[in-house]
Structure 1
Amino acid sequence: MKYYSIKKLHQLLLTKKITPSRIIKDAFTNLAQHQILNATVTELAAEVAILAKKLDDLVVPKDNYLFALPYFAKDNFATKGIKTTASSKILENFVPNYESTVTNILKEHHSILLGKSALDELGMGGHGLYALTGDVLNPWDLTRITGGSSSGSAVLVAAGVVPFALGTDTGDSVRKPAGYCGIVGFKPTYGLISRYGVFPYAPSLDTVGYFTRTVEDSAIVFDYLAQEDHQDATSLKSKEYGYFKNLSSSAAKKQKFAYLKNAHLILGDEIRGQFEQLYDKLKAVEISITAIDFPEDLLKALMSVYMVISFAEAVSSNSMLDGINFGTRVEGDTYQEVMMNSRTNGFGHVVKRRYVIGSYALTKDNQTLLFLKAKRVRRLIVDALAAVFAEYDILLLPAASTIAPKISTIKDKILTEDELENYVDDLLVLGNLMGNPSLTIPLAFLEKMPIGINVNAAPFADQKVFNASLLIEEIVGIKNKVAPQGGKNHG
């Protein structure tokens, strides 16, 4: 089953060439061969075997692509009666009595949740190295990072364990891992997928996203998940319908493409060459593609703005994780000591650092200097991006400046000021600051490792993103690619 797309799996079910029980058996057999990747927190083999047996007896609905679809959910989606830890020690024993809207939609359509996937603690991290359960390894090379925070979900799709997995994206937490792992990662327009039951990190940036191995599959899933939800105050109704039905690479040929000239010139020679080859191929099929300027000072401010806003919102969002309201309690003589002891014991160093910075930005003396200023700069960035989309339909960005870095070069590294201003690896944050649809797909392989390209359009133009991504997928020819078992590309 490991090479099956959602579309192919559905066809096999309809023609009775495969059963839900067989799908589940194959998935867990595959998962057992990939335990070295350390991608899961909770596995539900016994429970889903019973569910699959019940589905074996049902008629497969022709129009329900989610039927018997095996998937993993990032462990910050609340799942009723199933442990949900957000990969944090402070929540290691938390079992919700409620269900997230997204997993409930999947349940209602008879998808099969195989388990919960590892993430950087509480969604805070971009490397996949900060989960309570340890490092999540890249399936293409075990010595390299997967990216984060949706690391486990990305790995499970890239390794072929499942054709689809849920993630969340606050800065680039779906799209960056997709690039490093050679799969499709989609962050839709802010608000089009409900966040009810998803543990918050930074609510003005948080977006539910997901991974597949084809653009077609991504459009299929979005048809089901893009639903207005009155349980989510930020939920919005989609202005488009039938994303899969209306998927068309030829429609993308009528669109105007652009890429950032200043970012493109910073790329290393090999990766820049891969992008230029794609641009030439787009021009060969009569696509209009233009190198454009974007204010350099705003690009250099991207990570600083993101850090101040997201860290400040995180402090507020997670204030209840204190060992009294929520979270594993460590006793003390006073309630202040209980909170201090519980948080000291319950949070990892990356989360603690972000909370300290966020608290500092929210102090009375610093709100104007840091937090409010960051929000004003965010507005300038969004306005500049809006000006791009007023003239161009599609903005192409590199998903990262390099192939996935070695784990040994990342651990415990503190960014310098110069590195903060090297904005190429922060460009995907643009999609969160504006809330526009953004999708990463594979572009090429260098040193046997995937590199990705990121496709963007204006808010609510998600169909344009799918169509342009399909066109690029057809041109590049990398589709439904699965990593070699256990990262065996490398020693």
Structure 2
Amino acid sequence: MTAYSIKELHHLLITKKITPSQIVADAVANLAKHQVLNATVTELVAEAKALALKLDQMPVPSDNYLFAIPYFAKDNFATKGIKTTASSKILENFVPSYESTVTNILKENNSILLGKSALDELGMGGHGLYALTGDVLNPWDLTCITGGSSSGSAALVAAGVVPFALGTDTGDSVRKPAGYCGIVGFKPTYGLISRYGVFPYAPSLDTVGYFTRSVEDSAIVLDYLGQEDHQDATSLKSKEQEYFKNLTPATSKQKFAYLKNAHLLLPPEIKTHFDKLYRQLANQGFTVTGIDFPVDLLKALLPVYMVISFAEAVSSHSMLDGINFGTRVDGDSYEKVMINSRTEGFGHVVKRRYVIGSYAVSKENQTLLFLKAKRVRRLIVAALRTVFQEYDILLLPAASSIAPKINSIKDQILTEAELENYVDDLLVLANLMGNPSLTLPLAFVDKMPIGINVNAAPFADQKVFNASLLIEKMIGIKNTVAPEGGKNNG
């Protein structure tokens, strides 16, 4: 039953063809079938069933699409009285005394939290292989990665366990997993969704996002979550409202662009699907233009992201020292307590990022690395702003390939040439600028999904939804669930 969309489930509830308890029972049964994915940290089955029983006795509000809809929250959203670990050993016993704004909004609308999903530790990772609980497996092929860091949420939506799930996106942590898992992943304009109660990674880049299996559902969710919040200093109010009500396929007045230099780097089996879509758009009267973007700025995307995000992470996580916060490991001095706690509390990926971040913000390196990275970020944003002055929509590949095999990632040693292959870093553009960005399914290659990413200028979230709806209708891939419970290729 949870393979239905939010919109479909709402209609079934309104027409009394199903009850909240039936939805939750189906979700719980589906969750049990998908334990192989290793996508959860905490499951709240008893609590979800109890809430569903209460909702059974309540009238279904016709205007509340999220009433009785089950969901998962990435385990870096604080949930009062519920363990919140950020998939890190240093927080494995942390139970917040406060609630994130986003989960509180969902609670007030009687959505049903089914549990907390696994992530790359503290949001640091792009593969779904660095959670304290282990690898998160792709429901389309258990030998492949989901992408990260919002790996558990992506896997659960793609498997049909829940119709939507919360994530966070600092580099591409919602949109790339969406591409690898054949679902819709949306990162709204920076500040549009409150980050209060969400564990920070890099505050100038962090954005709350989420997964659905259709563009309609994505617009529905933003109608609820896109609220100004004075508890978040970066919260911003948009002039746009009622995204779902205003959802309509983009018209031919809209001008589309793609990055010609990046497009030419795609492998033939991926490139052919983008070429086909561009022809379809042109045949329907849309302007689709391949544009040049400074290659030196594209090659700078990854290093700029790394320097800025790693440096901000060092500051954001400085309290995780076993004294102020986090699981303590004893030592004979406060310095030893901090060293021991952080040594045992963090995984190797996080430690490496802290070392790089500390190096970048050290007194002797700030001008050379951190300040320079911020200046280059400004150049990238300026170039992107020029694109949006002429074009309404920028289309990007969500990734240069289908989801890689887990073993290939774990054995990977990047060469300098591979680091300069910027195609897999393109989604970082939207984090550097803060513009809305949505990934949706484009096609299947070797029975695995590939995604296309849709971008518009900041606060043009409706444009992104409308262009994505147009593409979704053209392609015909909507509300797709991975076959055979993730066991088709495992």
Same fold (TM over 0.5): yes
- Match runs of 1:66-465 below 5 Å: 66-249=66-249, 251-411=250-410, 413-465=412-464
Report the alpha carbon displacement of residue 231 of structure 1 after superposing the two structures with TM.
0.2
Q: Are the equivalent residues in 1 in contact too, given 2:252–2:286 (CA < 8 A)?
A: yes
Structure 2 counterpart of 1:364, which letter? Answer: K
1:54 pairs with 2:21: no
Determine helix, strand or coil for the equivalent of 1:143: strand
Report the alpha carbon displacement of residue 21 of structure 1 after superposing the two structures with TM.
0.6
* In 2, Cα distance between equivalents of 1:311 and 1:414: 20
Structure 1 counterpart of 2:263, which letter? Answer: H
Determine helix, strand or coil for the equivalent of 2:119: coil
* In 1, Cα distance between equivalents of 2:262 and 2:186: 22
TM-score by length of 2: 0.99
1:411-465, Cα deviation, whole Å (9 max, x unpaired): 1534332211100000000000000000000000000000000000000000000
* In 2, Cα distance between equivalents of 1:2 and 1:372: 48
* In 2, Cα distance between equivalents of 1:417 and 1:332: 41
* In 2, Cα distance between equivalents of 1:137 and 1:337: 37
Structure 1 counterpart of 2:272, which letter? Answer: G
Determine helix, strand or coil for the equivalent of 2:41: strand
Q: Are the equivalent residues in 1 in contact too, given 2:2–2:23 (CA < 8 A)?
A: no
1:318-351, Cα deviation, whole Å (9 max, x unpaired): 0000000110000000000000000000000000
1:371-421, Cα deviation, whole Å (9 max, x unpaired): 000000000000000000000000000000000000000015343322111
* In 2, Cα distance between equivalents of 1:488 and 1:359: 43
* In 2, Cα distance between equivalents of 1:227 and 1:94: 27
1:16 pairs with 2:16: yes
Q: Are the equivalent residues in 2 in contact too, given 1:38–1:135 (CA < 8 A)?
A: yes
1:2 pairs with 2:2: yes
Determine helix, strand or coil for the equivalent of 1:270: helix
Report the alpha carbon displacement of residue 44 of structure 1 after superposing the two structures with TM.
0.4
Determine helix, strand or coil for the equivalent of 1:266: coil
1:186-234, Cα deviation, whole Å (9 max, x unpaired): 0000000000000000000000000000000000000010000000000
Q: Are the equivalent residues in 2 in contact too, given 1:33–1:485 (CA < 8 A)?
A: no
Q: Are the equivalent residues in 2 in contact too, given 1:91–1:327 (CA < 8 A)?
A: yes
Report the alpha carbon displacement of residue 272 of structure 1 after superposing the two structures with TM.
0.4
Determine helix, strand or coil for the equivalent of 1:321: coil
Q: Are the equivalent residues in 2 in contact too, given 1:127–1:148 (CA < 8 A)?
A: yes
* In 2, Cα distance between equivalents of 1:41 and 1:486: 19
Determine helix, strand or coil for the equivalent of 1:211: strand
* In 1, Cα distance between equivalents of 2:282 and 2:365: 49
Q: Are the equivalent residues in 1 in contact too, given 2:144–2:406 (CA < 8 A)?
A: yes
Q: Are the equivalent residues in 2 in contact too, given 1:123–1:150 (CA < 8 A)?
A: yes
The runs of at least 4 aligned residues of structure 1 exceeding 6 Å deviation read none
Determine helix, strand or coil for the equivalent of 1:343: helix
Report the alpha carbon displacement of residue 238 of structure 1 after superposing the two structures with TM.
1.1
Q: Are the equivalent residues in 1 in contact too, given 2:75–2:118 (CA < 8 A)?
A: yes
1:296-336, Cα deviation, whole Å (9 max, x unpaired): 00000000000000000000000000000110000000000
1:272-314, Cα deviation, whole Å (9 max, x unpaired): 0000000001111111100000000000000000000000000
* In 1, Cα distance between equivalents of 2:206 and 2:108: 24
TM-score by length of 1: 0.99
* In 2, Cα distance between equivalents of 1:388 and 1:237: 24
* In 1, Cα distance between equivalents of 2:226 and 2:10: 20
* In 2, Cα distance between equivalents of 1:257 and 1:322: 48
* In 2, Cα distance between equivalents of 1:122 and 1:412: 22
Q: Are the equivalent residues in 2 in contact too, given 1:448–1:489 (CA < 8 A)?
A: no
* In 2, Cα distance between equivalents of 1:248 and 1:55: 32
Number of aligned positions between the proteins? 490
Determine helix, strand or coil for the equivalent of 1:469: helix
Identity of paired residues, percent? 82
Q: Are the equivalent residues in 2 in contact too, given 1:144–1:406 (CA < 8 A)?
A: yes
Which piece of structure 1 moves more, 478-487 or 460-469? 478-487
Structure 1 counterpart of 2:54, which letter? Answer: K
Gap regions ≥5 residues in structure 1:
none
Report the alpha carbon displacement of residue 484 of structure 1 after superposing the two structures with TM.
1.2
Determine helix, strand or coil for the equivalent of 1:130: coil
Structure 2 counterpart of 1:490, which letter? Answer: N
Gap regions ≥5 residues in structure 2:
none
CA RMSD of aligned residues (A): 0.7
* In 2, Cα distance between equivalents of 1:200 and 1:304: 20
* In 1, Cα distance between equivalents of 2:199 and 2:55: 30
Q: Are the equivalent residues in 2 in contact too, given 1:172–1:429 (CA < 8 A)?
A: yes
* In 2, Cα distance between equivalents of 1:155 and 1:185: 12
Q: Are the equivalent residues in 1 in contact too, given 2:140–2:483 (CA < 8 A)?
A: yes
* In 1, Cα distance between equivalents of 2:241 and 2:194: 16
Determine helix, strand or coil for the equivalent of 1:142: strand
* In 1, Cα distance between equivalents of 2:200 and 2:269: 38
Q: Are the equivalent residues in 1 in contact too, given 2:34–2:486 (CA < 8 A)?
A: no
Partner of 2:65: 65
1:96-152, Cα deviation, whole Å (9 max, x unpaired): 000000000000000000000000000000000000000000000000000000000
